[in-house]
Amino acid sequence: MDTEPLIRLVGVSVRFGRQQVLSNVHLDIFAHETLALIGESGCGKSVTLKLIVGLLQPTEGELFFEGRPLHKMRERELVAMRQRVGFLFQGSALFDSLTVFENVAFGLRAKGITAPSELELRVRSCLQDVGLTVASESKMPAELSGGMRKRVGLARALAIDPDVMLYDEPTTGLDPIMTDVINELILQTRAKRPITSLVVTHEMRTVQKVADRVVMFFPQARLSAHEPQLIYDGPPSGLSSCDDARVRQFVLGEARDRMNDIRDVVESV
Amino acid sequence: MSAGAIDTVSQPVLDLAEPPVPTRGTFAFFGDAFEALGDWSVFSIRAISGIWSHHLKTRELLRVCVEVGVSSVGVVSVTGLFIGMVLAVQTYSQLHMIGLDTSLGAIIHMSVVRELGPVLAAVMLAGRVGTAMSAQLGTMRVTEQIDAIACLGVDPVKYLVAPRFLGCILMIPLLTVLADAMGVIGSSGICLYVFGIDDFHYWQHTQNFVKRFDLLMGLAKSIVFGGVLSLICCHRGFNCKPGAEGVGKAATEGFVLSFVAIMFLDFVMAMLTTTVHNLIWPAVGAKVA
């Protein structure tokens, strides 16, 4: 593993109005590793992914991509950076007015690949990689099942041949078999090319299967002023034996303390 | 303690002390309004610059032109026809009393060509196409499709807004001509065939008063209306709040703000065109005044 991080977050805070989502987060992501980012809903996992591609700006702190600060990048540099990053969105975010073929070809066209023969070759290859046939090319996103939509989203992200893949809850809402299919595709992608992956997920099976390293965030709203938001950074095998009970509770899906919180809030109301 | 066992987590300290709310000054509303106007201006410049970028696709432009132009023909024709007819009915009784029946053509046609045609076409477009643009882009925002476009290295403002802006400014003059023509047909039909006004003098007065300048000013206005309403509606869609309510609100805001902008710009341009008219033809201006 390289010593210099590919992506670095330094003291990053994000606030939406009066809601503090991230607070003083420091995180390094190294080249060619698969990092799983876990945590309860609302702890800022998806926000972190959007910060990395510059879709959101931090309220405080800085982000670096290959040592270059994102906020100092010009429009052209930002576009070039984004074309090296594949993003699988939580809801797939397929363009609903375009066919599957056009969806996958979109990023290729943006990169300047416009020759029909080359487009066809590359789109078909990407669709095959995720287990989709030629018959699905002409379908509209509305005609696809949840699992197929995820796979088309993955094909679209991989079509641009990225150096970094960001997965935003890739298995949410899928049945166990399709969840494992997506996990296998993540592993297969990493085996085929040297790629850095950041996987945001709630699924512990996904974490155990694909991650080299795990980072856990805790919701800022449930922390006191100076408690760090990042409560675990280590291998997946260390999660269940972690000293921090909040980590173990998340891993085992233990809701006892949250129920106490909820009961307290209800009683106070 | 054995690995994996659960110990009691210390109760999280809920920070109930809310951050202080900044006091909003008396002019905060105007501050917000100026900020929104600035944001819209930057958005508009970016969208307009997209016309010259490689993101603009002919196929997408044609699709927008069909949606804006061809699909609006019916509604613009019908409303134009009825506006002309209503104007004729309402104006006839007044002018008939002072014996100026034959001047009806000049008055109604001038109103239609200068004001009602462009405004009617723009309002119809804001209601029919503008709200659809807001809702469509709002849905794309909510479902992260706009973020996906940006992630694939394409500027979503240039890619999505430029063809809509161009489609509107290309199609709205044609719709305005259609609204003008239908207004003239509707009013003439009522005046000549229902009220029995002498057709020679009716058309003679029209020809004397309604000039090419009036028609061109009407078309110039319509282009401004079309451009502004498309940018307002797209801007609302891009800044849509999450959920179905957010999309609905974006569509409503798109229409309301477009309507207000059309009325405001109509007033400004009416003042401007009258000034220009009086500068070019001072004698006619003095006579009218």
Q: CA of A94: which chain B residue's CA is closest?
A: B145
Rounded to a whole number of angstroms, the distance from the CA of B149 to the nearest CA of chain A is 8
Comparing CA positions, the residue from B166, B213, B201 lying closest to residue B69 is B166
Q: How confident is the model at residue B259 (pLDDT cuts 50, 70, 90)?
A: very high
* B149 contact residues in A (CB cutoff 8 A): 95, 106
Considering chain A, what percentage of its residues have pLDDT values greater than 70? 97
Token pair of B94, please? Answer: 């007044």
Comparing CA positions, the residue from A62, A51, A50 lying closest to residue A26 is A62
Does residue B280 form part of some domain?
no
Say which of B3, B145, B153 has its CB closest to residue A240: B3
Say which of B6, B18, B154 has its CB closest to residue A249: B6
Pairing between β-strand A34-39 and β-strand A213-217 as defined by DSSP bridges: parallel
Q: Which helix (H) or strand (E) holds A168?
A: strand A164-168
Place of tokens 């690995």: B3
Contact A114, A123 (CB under 8 A): no
Instruction: List pLDDT tens digits, range B12-34.
Output: 444 445 555 555 666 788 888 88
Does residue B249 form part of some domain?
yes
Instruction: List pLDDT tens digits, range A198-238.
Output: 999 988 889 999 999 999 988 877 777 777 888 888 888 88
Hey, is the C-beta of B17 within 8 angstroms of any chain A C-beta? no
Q: How confident is the model at residue A249 (pLDDT cuts 50, 70, 90)?
A: confident
Residue B5, pLDDT > 60, answer no
Hey, is the C-beta of B3 within 8 angstroms of any chain A C-beta? yes
Say which of B6, B13, B154 has its CB closest to residue A254: B6
Say which of A94, A225, A248 has its CB closest to residue B15: A225
Number of domains in chain B: 1
Does residue B32 form part of some domain?
no
CA distance B206 to B200: 10
CA distance B205 to B199: 10
Comparing CA positions, the residue from A166, A124, A176, A170 lying closest to residue A149 is A170
Does residue B7 form part of some domain?
no
Say which of A90, A106, A224 has its CB closest to residue B152: A106
CA distance B47 to B233: 12
Instruction: List pLDDT tens digits, range A19-37.
Output: 888 888 999 999 999 999 9
Does residue B59 form part of some domain?
no
* B19 contact residues in A (CB cutoff 8 A): 18
Residues A73-91, mean pLDDT to the nearest whole number: 91
Q: Which of B61-65, B215-219, B231-235 has the highest mean pLDDT?
A: B231-235
Contacts of A166 (CB under 8 A, 6+ apart): A49, A52, A53, A85, A86, A87, A88, A197, A198, A200
Which residues from A are below 8 Å from B when comparing CB atoms?
Answer: 18, 50, 53, 55, 75, 79-80, 82-83, 85, 87, 89-91, 93-96, 106-107, 110-111, 156, 160, 221-225, 240-241, 245-246, 248-249, 252, 254, 256-257, 260-261
Place of tokens 């503090």: A20
Is A268 or A199 the better-scoring residue by pLDDT?
A199
Is B93 or B55 the better-scoring residue by pLDDT?
B93
Cβ <8 Å between B153 and A111: yes
Q: CA of A244: which chain B residue's CA is closest?
A: B9
Ordered alpha helix ranges (H), chain A: 45-52, 75-82, 100-110, 116-129, 146-159, 176-192, 204-210, 245-252, 256-268
pTM of the model: 0.84
Q: How confident is the model at residue B99 (pLDDT cuts 50, 70, 90)?
A: confident
Q: How confident is the model at residue A125 (pLDDT cuts 50, 70, 90)?
A: very high
Cβ <8 Å between B143 and A111: no
Contact B235, B37 (CB under 8 A): no
Comparing CA positions, the residue from B91, B103, B287 lying closest to residue B205 is B103
Comparing CA positions, the residue from A77, A176, A248 lying closest to residue B9 is A248
Does residue B182 form part of some domain?
yes
Does residue B31 form part of some domain?
no
Report the pLDDT value the prediction gives residue A195, as an integer from 0 to 100. Answer: 93
Q: Which residues pair with A165 in a beta bridge?
A: A86, A197
Which residues numbered 121-150 in B keep a CB inside 8 Å of some CB on A?
143-145, 147-150
CA distance B45 to A95: 25
Report the pLDDT value the prediction gives residue A223, as an integer from 0 to 100. Answer: 75
Residue A51, pLDDT > 50, answer yes
Say which of B21, B152, B155 has its CB closest to residue A107: B152
* A50 contact residues in B (CB cutoff 8 A): 147
Rounded to a whole number of angstroms, the distance from the CA of B261 to the nearest CA of chain A is 29
Rounded to a whole number of angstroms, the distance from the CA of B199 to the nearest CA of chain A is 52
Which sign does the torsion angle of CA A164, A168, A173, A179 carry?
positive
Q: How confident is the model at residue A2 (pLDDT cuts 50, 70, 90)?
A: low
* B5 contact residues in A (CB cutoff 8 A): 248
Rounded to a whole number of angstroms, the distance from the CA of B134 to the nearest CA of chain A is 16
* B147 contact residues in A (CB cutoff 8 A): 50, 55, 87, 89, 93
CA distance B163 to A134: 31
* A107 contact residues in B (CB cutoff 8 A): 152-153
For residue B138, give its domain range: 73-272
Is B80 or A256 the better-scoring residue by pLDDT?
B80
Residue B260, pLDDT > 50, answer yes
Hey, is the C-beta of B1 within 8 angstroms of any chain A C-beta? no
Residues B103-109, mean pLDDT to the nearest whole number: 89
Hey, is the C-beta of B98 within 8 angstroms of any chain A C-beta? no
Does residue B154 form part of some domain?
yes
Report the pLDDT value the prediction gives residue A193, as an integer from 0 to 100. Answer: 84
